[in-house]
Structure 1
């Protein structure tokens, strides 16, 4: 196993998008990268691209305790007393649909991956972070700051991840371990195809009554979400923020990222300054959600 000058980092969810971009960037910057994926085909893709041994794919599902333990054992044997200089919790998914019709099982799965999985991975690798006085970088979303209709499960899970990050940052401060939250907006990646697939599945399973109530606005929202993702910031921009979070002498506690940074900041300010109903009305107008009374 190649030992790189900047130390070892573990990144979850590296098959596509931000995770893969971060793995590529950090490897190029001199880190020894452990990149977790859920499927062997994604691991093989990384092996074919990186044959030097400085980037090692590991099969790990963040919802399976035995796989997390197996991955932790592999990394621990490799880095030994050097520990990990960074843990990047990037794995995640999106559950969409009207709250009234999102199944409780789907809602639980959203939190299982986006919240409990992140916590389980953090607990497993924290001893290695302690050895190197490393840093933990959690990938959240601006959806934790501004909720939107039809992605309530995602927004709620990212809000929970943000709260967990804040608490962990304070708990680990006495040991000098930084805990940082990166909150990107829309990202140009494979996500639009996944959103379209999820919508088609959900829409097909909706009752005629549900389609009558939510169908048009749900479809309009998803079309906008897909468009914003296709034209969103490149994953490499988020990877750059992850690199800064790992290397800055005094990293920010939060990195807000958006292709339209000014509009994002304005919305965040408005959310704090104007009454909730006024802000709701602004969002509803943009989504063409009409009063049904």
Structure 2
């Protein structure tokens, strides 16, 4: 059986990278099960797909939906098993840590960490049957911490650790565990960040707004600007396909239009004092005193 006759499950396929990956792999001949949360998103995927694509309702924070999804996929693949699982679903929680709502912080980890593990555990028996691959979608935020994105960065750092551990644990079965680390991506995310910014500013206490409002707003505006000029979701989808098909894939694929600059910063971060690295980032955000 060639790889392109295999089956792949993708979470968070309603928009962005997940959607682009689902459409690409279906077009390339894979049987794709694309996780979405609404019937509207499911219908849009069906209308735009040129291949064997089946939307499935999959909120990765709901165990009953994960269980139902595994039953659907298991029934379809039988003894062939699952060639690939792409853990793409994720959210962004932002704001100054001093005033970050603890329920929002918990939700960040529920989606970006616990949900990833829950889906992986559920589909691993099928992955093992096919000696398939697990691809986790991380972020440059899993390498570099930034002010006002502490929750996101912490969750992506955690996903990096989980990916590394799982890769070693599954080595005896020849199951590859791969991390894709994109930088800024041009997708619907900037619009979501803009909406989040306005909501957060409106809900900030007068004290919090006086302390952080202007610089927090500037920080989010910089993120929105960066994302609008970022990589296309299709570019990340191409790398995901490569990670599925390459005989000996890399353990990490770091993708960014600013890859050279980011790699230089990461290299310097290993040898420079923390305060020097802090100053570089703070100066970029016009926070330096």
TM-score, normalising length from structure 1?
0.96
- Following superposition, the deviation at residue 49 of structure 1 comes to 2.3
Residue matched to 2:283? 285
Q: CA deviation at 1:51?
A: 7.2
CA separation of 1:234/1:5 partners in 2, compared to 1, >3 Å: closer, same or farther? Answer: closer
Question: What's the offset of the Cα at 1:237?
Answer: 1.1
Deviations 1:166-217 (A, max 9, x none): 0000000000000000000000000000001111111101111111111111
Unaligned runs of 5+ in 1: none
Q: Is the 8 A contact 2:23 2:48 kept in 1?
A: no
> Please, which of 242, 245, 248 is the counterpart of residue 244 of structure 1?
242
2-side partners of 1:46 and 1:5: how far apart? 20
Count of aligned pairs = 288
| Other-structure match for 2:10 | 11
Which residue of structure 2 aligns with residue 123 of structure 1? 121
For 2:216 and 2:31, how far apart are their aligned partners in 1?
43
Instruction: Give the structure-2-normalised TM-score.
Output: 0.97
Partner of 1:42: 41
Within the candidate set 55, 72, 91, 1:74 is matched to 72
Deviation at 1:48, TM superposition (A): 2.0
* Structure 1 CA distance for aligned equivalents of residues 266 and 245 of structure 2: 27
- 3-state DSSP class of the match of 1:198? helix
1:20-169 aligned within 5 A: 20-50=19-49, 54-169=52-167
Where in structure 2 are the equivalents of 1:167-182 lying within 5 Å?
167-182=165-180
In structure 2, C-alpha distance between the alignment counterparts of 1:147 and 1:71, rounded to whole Å: 34
Over 3 Å counting, the alpha-carbon distance change for 1:42 and 1:4 in structure 2 is farther
RMSD of equivalent CA atoms: 1.3
Q: Is the Cα–Cα contact under 8 Å of residues 3 and 83 in structure 2 kept in the other structure?
A: no
Query: For residues 75 and 50 of structure 1, what CA distance do their matches in structure 2 show?
Result: 18
